[in-house]
Every structure is written in structure tokens, then in C-alpha cells.
Amino acid sequence: MTRPHQFYQRFSAELAVEIFSKIWKAEGVKPLDPRLLKYAKTARGYIIFITVFGFLSAVFIIAQDWLISKAATPVIMEHQPLSFIVPTLQLLVLVLLGRGLSLLIRQWFAHRAATGAIREIRQKVLTHATKLGPRWQTQHGQDTVTTVVRALKDLDAYFVFFLPQLLLSVTVTPLTLLVVVYLDWISAIFVLATIPLIPLFMILIGILTQEYSDKRLASMKRMGGQLVDLLAGLATLKSLGREQDPAKQVKRVGYEYSRSTMQTLRVAFMSGGALEFLTTLCVALVAVEVGIRLLNNQLDLFTGLLVIMLTPEVFSPLREVGKQFHASSDGVTAAEAAFAILEEPLPKTGHIAAPDLTKATIKLHDVGVKARGMWAPASLTANLEPGKIYALTGASGSGKTTTAMSILGLQTVDQGELTVSGPAGSVPLPEIDLASWWEQCAWVPQNPAILPGTVLENLGESGTEPSPALVEASRITHFDEVVQGLSQGWLTQLGAGGLGLSVGQRQRLALTHALTQQAQLIVLDEPTAHLDANLETQVIAGIKALKSQGKTVVVIAHRQAVLNVADVSIPVDTRPLTAAEVKQAAQAAAAAKPKVRARKRKPDGREDLPPLILNLDFADNEVRA
């Protein structure tokens, strides 16, 4: 049977080995990441503000302890009446009020700075993520959503609790220590001998809690991704009577998240206890040596009291930094994930103005894109001439959506090339300025992104009455019949995702919007999916109307009715990767070493848009998410 002291010795040895191994492997602890100042301008002003207030706090602390010593000394040593120290007490009250007021102002400003910095980082992460393209978003979209929506909230604790104490440790601690050195150099030696132990334990706290914070963020991402997938497929699961099946899996991930959170708090609590012990020991040593020297008349009472009161203030910011680190470690981990996204290199874009698509042909020559261990599409060759309807056909997962994304300039190809041939010659699509290219393109997804607002606002118009062009477009797509059935007509308020409209009505709204745009190239993703025969006929009429306007229409199609109106059908096929191609892809992935790991997902054979880009309104050069 293991005795208690043997267990303690073994536990201490194992803990020491783990700590020093982590210190040896650690790349360095960054309590204040310079990237935070780079990506959040609000943080810069906040740091300056806190630094200035740090000096002010040091003045208040020194003045407070000096006044207390000045008030206590004559009463104790000279037996003076309390009326003798009334002026000193009045000054002390003013100092205490000033210190409390400065604390309130600091906390108020900290909350404002945290809100502003989180908002800035979120906006920049979303903007950068939309520019990284569908392939990156498909791999990292769910993790990015979790980081932006949930994880970055933890930065609030970093700004409100940790960062102020960190800055106070470089203002209050040095100033109070200088006063102690000036008053009594012997006591200062005791303080200086124990101060280095505080940063050492702070490093240990950072190293030990970082691993648990990483696990917590990973659990949060898994849980968020699974919940998003569950909500997206809830209708299908409910129709099959399987809506209860994922409950156990979600519960298990939630348990992992709770356990990792408690592990972080447990380590931080134990480390914080060690910090409290160290500071208490140092203050006790100073108090003992001051007391002995007071008994031997080697030190006056005023100096002794002031030194004893200032000693805890020397350690207070350092101790609070260690205690508050666990409250901010999750936010620091989330910020690092956000910075990793912001540092992802953007795809290269060209600088040549896009040719006029009313007179240009888009050529695909031997185009191939690697996806899920295969080429999808594989060796695709086609010419898209102006004013015609083209249908991309093939089985699910063959690369039809990938082909459409490549034509729109949102997807780089791994093989072959896309060129645009006009009267002035041929230009490779990667060399064309995407902004000028998107001005001539419009994308109508299978599930159009409809934002909260009126019908007119979702069709890109303001005011109370539709324009003549919109009236004509709605007549062609039969969307005018939908408007007539709405309670407030064009001014009817729609909910997020088109709440208030059926699937077919949303498709006709998207087609109507496409008809009113100046875009020459219109790409539609299965516009008749989930529609009955009557609605399908109306949508096909809208597609024909696009052609009658001279627009080039590319349709991802499965239904025969859509194929019948197409001028050209383009079959899209797949091909497995060869052994050499698989090896080459593995080497390229190892060399890339992505900073944001993709959550493993089982291939479902479907081509779907990434969660961050649900609809791209290229005519307005606007991204709707």
C-alpha cells in the first residue's frame, strides 16, 4: 500500500518533470501579443490609457500608505489626540475616493475597449475569410464560425481583468519598489529576493493552462460544427424519424467541453494558490524583520509601517496577473486562432480589366480540381459563348459546383486553364481583376441568402415602389403573383433566410434579382430543385427570359426539363487520383502546415457552398453571409 508521503513525492516528481518538459518545449509565453495591436486599433488607445492610469494608481497607493503611516505614528508614539490627525485623515479620504474613482473609470474603459477590439477582429476575420475562397472555407468554415461567434467573446476577460493587471505590474510594482528601496534598503533586499519567483510561476500557469485552453477551444469547435450540421439536416432527420439519434453525440462533445473547462480552472486555482503562498511568505518575512528592528530601535515606526504596507502593493499586480490569467487564457487562445486566419495568404489575383462578356468566350481547357481523393471535375473542356444556356450535368459530387465556382473566379484549378477570349485576344482568368470580372457575373445559389428586410430591399431597391425594370422582371418570372399574395406587397417584411416565402418563391425572387442586374454571366445552382411541375415551368420561363436578354446562362441541372432548354449540355465527370498524385498531394499538404486545422468530415458526395458564403451579389460587389 502506498503511503501518503510516498504518493506526494511521486506526484511532485511527475509534476516537476511535466512542468520542465513543457518549459523546454514552449515557444514562449506572450502575455501581450503584438498582433493584437496590429489588428485591433482600439487596443492601442486602451493600452496607453491603462499605462497612464497605472502611474496614477501608483501615486494613489503611495500617497494612501504614506498618509496612513503619518496618521498612525503620532497617535501611537506621541499619544496625540485624534483631532491632531484630522487634516491627514481628510487627505486620506480624498485619496481613497480618487483611487476608487480611477478604478471605476478604468473598468468602464476596459469594457468599451474589449467590445471595440472584439468587433474589429470579428469584422477583419470575416472579411479575410470571404477572400480566401470556397476551398478554404469548405475546410475551415465551421471552425471559423465558432471562433468568430463564440470563442472571441472570451477576450472580454482578457481586456477587463488580465491586461490592466499586466500593465499595472510594469508601473505600480517598479514605483512602489523604488519607494521601499529609498525608505529601507534591507527590506527591499527581501522583496527583490522573492520577486523573481512570481514571474516563474506565471510562466508555469501559462504553460499548463495553454494546453487545456487549446483542448477547450477544440471541443467548442467540434460541438459548434456538429450543431450547425445537425440544424442544417434537421428537416431531413425529422422526415426519417431519426431526429433523436445525434443527441448522444452532442451530449458527449458537451461533456468534453465542460471537462476541459474544469481542467483549466483547476490548474489555474492550484497555481494561484502557490502565488498567494509566495507573496504571503515574503510579506511575513518583511514584517518579521521590520518588527525585530523596531524592537531594537533600529527603525522608526513611520518608516516601518510604510514599508510593511507598501510590500503587498509591490506584489499585488504580479499576483493578480497570475490569478487572472486563467480568466483570459481562453480568450488568448481564441485570439491566436483568429490571428492564424488573418495571416492566411490570400489567393493571387490579376490586374487586367475583364473583357466585355457580351463579346467574349469563356474557354475551359483540360480543367481539373482535386477534391476528396479524386479529380472533380476531371479533364473538363468546354467553350461558353455569349447568349446561350449551358447545362452542367453529372452525378452528385462530380464537380459541377466546383466548375461553376472556377468560372466565377472563386476557385483556383489544379490542372488546365480557363481563358477569356475577346476581340482583343485571350486572357487567362487568374490574370483578370476579380472586381471587374464580378461586375459582369451573378450567382443564384440553390438556397438564396435572403436578409431580414422588405421584398424591395432584398431585390436591391429602396423606396416604396418598384422600378419599371423590376416590374417587368417580376412579370417574366411570375414573381408578381407572389407579391400580390403578400400582405403588404413589395413592402412585406421577410425574415432571415426568406422566412415568409416558400422554396419556390425564394427561387423566383433570386431569378427576378438576376434579371434586373447588369450582369452578363448568370450561374444558377439547381434552380428547380424541390419544386413541383408548375413552379418548375415558371422558373424555366425566367431562365429563357435571361437568354432573351442576351445573357450567358450556366445552369447546374439534374432535371430533364432544365436540360431541354439548354443549348449545350456539358458533362462533368470524376477520376480517382493516381498513386503518384496522392503522394504529391500528401507532400504538398505536409509542406503547407495549415495553422487552422480542418475538422474531419465524412464525404457525403454532395457539392455545397461553404457556410460563410451563401450568396454573392457580384453586380454590387457585395458579399452576403
Last-in-domain residue among 307, 342, 377:
342
pLDDT-wise least confident of 10-24, 389-403, 448-462: 10-24
Q: Is residue 8 part of a domain?
A: no
What is the reported pTM? 0.63
Q: Give per-residue pLDDT as tens, 127-143.
A: 888 888 777 877 777 77
> Quick one: 233 and 86 in the same domain?
yes
- Tell me if 167 sits within 8 A of 50, measured CB to CB: yes
Residue 161 grid coordinates: 481583468
Q: Which residue has the higher pLDDT, 388 or 24?
A: 388
Q: Is residue 218 part of a domain?
A: yes
Q: Is the pLDDT of residue 595 over 80?
A: no
Q: Is residue 11 part of a domain?
A: no
pLDDT of residue 609: 34
> Quick one: 319 and 365 in the same domain?
no
> Quick one: 302 and 379 in the same domain?
no
Q: Is the pLDDT of residue 371 over 90?
A: no
Q: Is residue 544 part of a domain?
A: yes
Q: Which has the closest alpha carbon to 80: 65, 94, 70, 90?
A: 70
Q: Is the pLDDT of residue 361 over 90?
A: yes
Query: How much of the chain, in percent, has pLDDT values that exceed 70?
Result: 78
Q: List, as one string, the DSSP characters of 234-283.
A: HHHHHHTT-TTTTHHHHHHHHHHHHHHHHHHHHHHHHHHHHHHHHHHHHH
Strand intervals (E) in 513-580: 521-525, 552-556, 568-571, 575-576
pLDDT of residue 12: 43
Question: What CATH number is attached to the domain comprising 230?
Answer: 1.20.1560.10
Q: Which residue has the higher pLDDT, 175 or 249?
A: 175
> Quick one: 393 and 311 in the same domain?
no
Q: Is the pLDDT of residue 22 over 60?
A: no
Q: How confident is the model at residue 552 (pLDDT cuts 50, 70, 90)?
A: very high
- Mean of pLDDT values over 497-504: 80
- Nearest-angstrom CA–CA distance, 355 and 61: 70
Q: Which residue has the higher pLDDT, 19 or 375?
A: 375
- Mean of pLDDT values over 471-491: 87
Q: List, as one string, the DSSP characters of 386-446.
A: TT-EEEEE--TTSSHHHHHHHHTTSS--SEEEEEEEETTEEEEGGGB-HHHHHTTEEEE-S
Q: Which has the closest alpha carbon to 397: 369, 434, 431, 430?
A: 369
Q: Is the pLDDT of residue 430 over 80?
A: yes
> Quick one: 336 and 367 in the same domain?
no
Last-in-domain residue among 342, 375, 391:
342
Question: What CATH number is attached to the domain comprising 377?
Answer: 3.40.50.300
> Quick one: 338 and 367 in the same domain?
no
> Quick one: 371 and 332 in the same domain?
no
- Tell me if 419 sits within 8 A of 365, measured CB to CB: yes
pLDDT-wise least confident of 83-87, 150-154, 205-209, 318-322: 205-209
- Mean of pLDDT values over 541-565: 88
- Tell me if 459 sits within 8 A of 509, measured CB to CB: yes
Q: Give per-residue pLDDT as tens, 151-176.
A: 788 788 788 888 888 888 888 888 88
> Quick one: 296 and 376 in the same domain?
no
Residue span of the structural domain in which 160 resides: 18-342
Q: Is residue 503 part of a domain?
A: yes
pLDDT of residue 111: 84
> Quick one: 459 and 328 in the same domain?
no
pLDDT of residue 571: 93
Q: Is residue 460 part of a domain?
A: yes
What's the number of domains the chain is made of? Answer: 2
Q: Which residue has the higher pLDDT, 216 or 430?
A: 430
> Quick one: 385 and 273 in the same domain?
no
Q: How confident is the model at residue 10 (pLDDT cuts 50, 70, 90)?
A: very low
Q: Is residue 484 part of a domain?
A: yes
Biggest alpha carbon–alpha carbon distance for the chain: 108
**Cα separations in angstroms, 77 against 66, 69, 70, 74, 294:** 16, 12, 11, 5, 12
Q: How confident is the model at residue 385 (pLDDT cuts 50, 70, 90)?
A: very high
pLDDT of residue 30: 61
Q: Which residue has the higher pLDDT, 23 or 203?
A: 203
Average per-residue pLDDT in the chain?
A: 78
Q: Is the pLDDT of residue 391 over 90?
A: yes
Q: How confident is the model at residue 610 (pLDDT cuts 50, 70, 90)?
A: very low
Q: Is residue 126 part of a domain?
A: yes
Alpha carbon 175 to its chain centroid, in Å, reads 38
- Nearest-angstrom CA–CA distance, 570 and 389: 11
User: Which helix H or strand E contains 366, and what residues bound it?
Assistant: strand 361-368
Q: Which residue has the higher pLDDT, 564 or 233?
A: 564
> Quick one: 169 and 94 in the same domain?
yes
Greatest mean pLDDT range, 268-277, 329-338, 513-522, 531-540: 513-522
Residue with cell string 514605483: 175
> Quick one: 413 and 272 in the same domain?
no
pLDDT of residue 607: 37
- Nearest-angstrom CA–CA distance, 367 and 363: 10
Q: Which residue has the higher pLDDT, 247 or 425?
A: 425
pLDDT-wise least confident of 291-295, 535-539, 549-553: 535-539
pLDDT of residue 56: 85
Alpha carbon 172 to its chain centroid, in Å, reads 34
Q: Which residue has the higher pLDDT, 92 or 206?
A: 92
